[in-house]
Amino acid sequence: MPDDTIKPVEVVPAPAAVLAPEQLPNDPSMIGGVSLRGWIVILFSLTVCVMSFMNREVVEPLHSLAIAAVSYYFGHATGKK
């Protein structure tokens, strides 16, 4: 006959290496809930967009740097699973 009693389960917190960066307490690389890499990508993207809207020429090194930063950010964010 099956045992219908409820048994307590021990909850063990995950190690820090498994937690997402936004779940780590007092993470110095987070500013306003966004990682430092995220802020750098936002800065490069906004710079290129503002320069385009102002009809300023976006030179090749800045354009390539912005694309590389976005590629690194999204590649790094999805690569370690």
Q: 19-67, pLDDT tens digit by residue?
A: 555 555 566 677 777 788 888 888 888 988 899 899 998 888 888 888 8
Q: Read off φ and ψ for residue 7, nearest 5 degrees.
A: -105, 140
SS3 percent helix, strand, coil of the chain, rounded to 5, is 50, 5, 45
Q: 54 in a domain, yes or no?
A: yes
Q: 2 in a domain, yes or no?
A: no
pLDDT on residue 54: 92
Note down the domain range covering 70: 32-79
Q: 67 in a domain, yes or no?
A: yes
Q: 7 in a domain, yes or no?
A: no
pLDDT on residue 65: 86
Q: 34 - beta bridge partners?
A: 31
- Does this model's pTM top 0.85? no
Give the count of domains, the chain.
Answer: 1
Q: 63 in a domain, yes or no?
A: yes
Greater confidence (5 vs 16) lies with 5
Q: 6 in a domain, yes or no?
A: no
Closest to 68 (Cα-Cα) out of 47, 49, 45, 46: 45
pLDDT on residue 61: 86
Q: 31 - beta bridge partners?
A: 34
Q: 73 in a domain, yes or no?
A: yes
